[in-house]
Amino acid sequence: MTFESGEAFVSTSGGYERFFEAGGKRYIHILDLKTGRPSESDLASVTVICDSGIKSDFLSTAIFIGGKEGLTKYLDDSSIQIIAVDNDGEIIYSQSLEGKIAMSGG
């Protein structure tokens, strides 16, 4: 997937690269602050595009941990743009990115 961002900071959080498996269960490197345990998100990855590197990094992780349930309120925030992929491969993104995202083979 490719997208147009212009001048912006882009951060992606997800559990698809850094993890280990034990007893048939996957444990990712992102911890849920409420439980102190590895997050069990229904999202595979979250990318946040905005005008601050700290904000994009923080929000990509926070939204990832919150999962699809909390995603909607961020999609309506005009100060950021989001591309999220759920565990079934569905792509959810901010309306302002319409026409700026292209899928590529891979």
Inside any domain, residue 63: yes
pLDDT for the residue numbered 3: 66
- Structure pTM? 0.84
Confidence of residue 43 (pLDDT cuts 50, 70, 90): very high
Inside any domain, residue 62: yes
Inside any domain, residue 95: yes
Q: Give me the number of domains the chain comprises.
A: 1
Question: Is the predicted pLDDT of residue 25 greater than 90, yes or no?
Answer: no
Confidence of residue 29 (pLDDT cuts 50, 70, 90): confident
Instruction: Please write the tens of the pLDDT for every residue from 80-104.
Output: 999 999 999 999 999 888 877 776 6
Give the total residue count for the chain. Answer: 106
